[in-house]
Each structure stands twice: as structure tokens, then as C-alpha cells.
Structure 1
Amino acid sequence: MRMMVYEYAPNGTLSEHLHLKVFEDLDWAARMRIIMGLAYCLQYMHHELNPPVAINDIRSDAIFMTDDYAAKIADVGMWKELADRAKAAKQDGSSRSEPPPDLAGSVFCFGMLLLEIISGKLPEPGGHELTCIWAAKHLKAKNYVELVDTVLEEHKANELEAVCEVIEECTDPDPTRRPAMRDVTGKLREVLGVSPEAAAPRLSPLWWAELELLSIKST
């Protein structure tokens, strides 16, 4: 089953590049490409798979860097399990239903991951409360430059603004006000200008489309 399968991480994890000095720093353009790759993947999972799949614990230490510094999410076991459960429920004719996927929770986690990518700030163990308070102060004041990782020599102001607006929308305390991933992806692509082909690993074009196998198996 070929779905975003991680076989070998020649360049370590996203977390290592963001937080460990022994790994090469990712410049602004590389971070924007990673953001778009993850956005396309989550959009596919939320809006193209049947049933939709939400990742509510997406972490930088589970995102691996390919040889050309594209991002690939490592663990797909959860997604296969969800598809198998949905298929089993249809086959046994049971009236019981699985709870709907928490897409808003997945959007929140994506927003927090974006914040980590642009800021280089380590995630808090056990929760996001303090990080959200720190970020909200600068987001509300539109003082976006205060959120930029100090190791970055340069960034594009219009791209930073777009990413920060998305972070603010995705981490809204009210889940009902968080945007859908297709809207998030559209807004980011409009400003960042990174196509699905450009975001994909060089040796695995449109790798998130491999998730179609999961959709087929669940029907």
C-alpha cells in the first residue's frame, strides 16, 4: 500500500532542521515549500478522501525531509485503520457510526505547525496554551516580524503576512470559525505561488495523490 510511505529519510526530520544546530537551517523559500506540501496533503485528506481523514497530532518530528528537502508525513497507519473501520461498518450493516473526523482540530494543528516552521520555536510539552498566548499578542498587533526565526537572514513580507493570517485563522479558539483546508491552501498558494508539482518530492510527484488508494479501499 503506497500512501505517503516514508522509506528512508536522507535529510532527517523537519523538527531536527528547525531545532538542532547540527542540521542545515532551512531558508525562507524552503519553509514555504514545506508549508505548501503539507497544505496540499491535508486538503486532499479533508476534501478528497472518503471518508475524510483528520490528523490531530501532526508534529514536526513525524515529518521527514527528502533528498530535495520536500516534506513527507511518516506514519500512515492511523489512516489505514480509519479506512478499514469504515469499510467494516458498511459490510456488517451495523447502525452504529463512527464519530465524524475532527477536521477543525486538524486545521488547528496545521496552524500551530506553521507557527513552529516560521518561528523555529519548540512546541510546548503537553499543550499549546503558552505558545498561543505568545503568538496571539503579535498576531493581533500585526507585528509579524517578531514571529520570524532569528536564524533566517531574510524573508518576504507579503508571504509572512499571508502565513500569519492563516495561523491566526487556523488557531481561532472557536473551532466553528476555523477555515476549511481547501480555503487555507488556496489563500497560501495565491501568495506563495508554490504549485502541487513544485511542492512534491522530486522522485515522487504528487505523492499525496497516492492517498486515493485509501479512499478506494474504504468504499
Structure 2
Amino acid sequence: MSMPEQNTDTDTDTDTDTDTVRGLQGLEDSSPSVRLRTALAAGTSPDPRFVGELIERCAVEPEFHVRDMLTWALTRHPASMTVPALLEELRSERAQARSQALHTLSKIGDRRAWPAITRALLTDADDEVARSAWRAAVVLVPEGEETGLARVLVTQLGRGERPTQLSLSRALIALGEVTTPALRAAMTDLDPRVRAHAIATERLSRNPDAGFEFAIEEAKRVVVLGRTGQEE
């Protein structure tokens, strides 16, 4: 009696799925170097089935260099697959999920993501999320909407510690001259931290080689002396 033919196509698909799952198991390894190699492999040989796992790992990966490799791996996949999934992450309750999704969107540079860069993200209570939103916004903002973005970013002047303030200054400077009116107005703000940050940003835009630390210290002296910095 002849044996029934096996469904080799199904078996092949199953084997491939198993290989895919096995290949991504390294993302859960306790060793950062193993996770890094796994992310590198996923980007070197992109597969649509990797996208979900890579994004999920971005939300919980503790090591910066591994997260950066995960982002690189995602940029190696088609934007038509990654961008919709990343936009979903922007609504996550996990701050790292939002931050990494924004970071990855900025690297992909698909401007269809712009409508998702909301005021809520630009003013997010978590500094890392806000910083990632500022960087993404500068990359993705459509022509003609820079002034509106600048007005939102200026509301964050004086926020956080030096790294956060430097990120905001860089974002404002990257937008160019459209930020000048909003910055000038902020130089007369009642909050001395806002005034100092606005003055430092304006000075840094004129003299990038001076460095932010120097610019902020100079701006503080201007504020203490009761000047706005507009007379220069």
C-alpha cells in the first residue's frame, strides 16, 4: 500500500518559522554581547517576522548600545512595515517604549510619521521621551510647520538638567531662524531658568564652537545682571 504524500510545503514553512523564533531567542539572553550579535544578525538579514520582536525588545532593553543596534536593525526593514508598528508604540505606557520608538522614527526619517509627533510627546513628563520627541520632530517636520514646532519647543526652555537643556537647544538651533521671535520673547520670561536657557541657546546658535556649558554660564551672568541679552 502506498504511503500518503507528506505536505512538504507546510513542513518547510514550519521549519522556517522555528528557525526565525530560534534566531531571535538571543534577544532574551542575559549577555549583552549575545543580544547585540542577535540584533546585528537581524539587521544584516532582514525578515518581516523580526519587526515585532525587535520593537518589543526596544521597550525593555537596558543597554544603550544594544538598543542602538535594535534601532539599526529596524531601519534595515521596509518603512511600510516598521513605521505603523512604531506609531503604535508611541501610545505605550512604558516611557522607554515611547522614547525608542521616537528615536527609531527619527532614524527612518519617514515624514508620514509627523502627525504622530504630538504636543503631548513634545512635552512628555519623561525627559528621555521628550528629548527623543524633539529630535524626531526636527527631522520629520514638514516645510511650513517649523514655526509652530518652535513655539511648542520654546515652552520647554529651562526644563531638566544640562543634557536635557542641550538637546532642546540643539533642536531649536536646527530649526533655524524661525525660532528667533520665540527665543527673544523667552529672554524676558519671569523664570530665570527660562531666560538663561533662551539666552544660552541664542548665543550657541551664533557661536557653536563656544560650547553649551560656556553659553549657559554666560547666560546666567546676564540674568543675574538683569539684562535680557537683546542689547548685544
- TM-score band, normalised by shorter chain: under 0.3
Task: Tell which has more relative contact order, 1 or 2 (C-alpha 8 A, sep 6+).
Answer: 1
Relative to the length of structure 1, the TM-score reads 0.25
Relative to the length of structure 2, the TM-score reads 0.24
Q: Report the structure, 1 or 2, having the larger helix content.
A: 2
The structure with the larger Rg is 2
